[in-house]
Amino acid sequence: MGIRRFAQLDSVWPAGLGRRLGAMLYDGFLVTAIWIAVTILHVAFFRFVLDQQAEEIGTTAFDIWSLRVMLLFFVSLFFIFSWTRGGMTLGMQAWRLRVQTVDGYSISVKQGLIRCAVAWLSLLAFGLGYWWVIFDSERRSWPDIVSKTRTVVLPSK
């Protein structure tokens, strides 16, 4: 999975807040599915491998924090894999969005990690990192700015 230059660079434009929120809503359904699957596997591991009684699962700090870490890890992995593989998640495909470097290449794993970390911080700040698109002259969100990437709209085919 190497870095590649995308096509259609002259016909893309910076993504606005509406499209980004639409893609986030679509991806929210995928995130929910990932969280459900991870939670089922986590509970099954504690129940059948560690032999905890059903009523004991989720009662210790280790149970709770191990699940939280796994939820964060697998959702972050989903986003980073999607962004580095083809520049888009399923929600971004539906809204014709792509994440790319400033000069039109697919992003690196390092940029994906940075982008994901800042995305979580943006959400924790009541979404301010995404509302920033409204004020930035280049329509960049905090994840775009910090990871040196751009979220662009692709032309319709």
* CB neighbour class for 103 (10 Å; exposed up to 12, middle 13-18, buried from 19): exposed
Nearest to 153 by CA among 102, 68, 92, 109: 92
Q: How confident is the model at residue 1 (pLDDT cuts 50, 70, 90)?
A: low
Distance CA 88, CA 106 (A): 10
**pLDDT of 128 strictly over 90:** yes
pLDDT average, residue stretch 113-139:
97
**Which H or E run contains 156?**
none
Reported pTM: 0.91
Provide the percentage of residues in the chain whose pLDDT is more than 90.
82
What does the pLDDT look like over 55-77, one tens digit per residue?
888 888 988 999 999 999 999 99
Quote the mean pLDDT of the chain: 94
Nearest to 80 by CA among 107, 104, 120: 107
**pLDDT of 8 strictly over 80:** no
User: Which amino acid belongs to residue 141?
Assistant: S
pLDDT average, residue stretch 72-85:
97
The conformational region for residue 51 under phi > 0 = left, psi -120 to 50 = alpha, else beta, is: left
pLDDT average, residue stretch 78-94:
97
**Residues 6 or more apart from 92 whose CB is under 8 A from it?**
23, 27, 82, 98, 99
pLDDT average, residue stretch 81-105:
96
pLDDT top residue among 94 and 4: 94
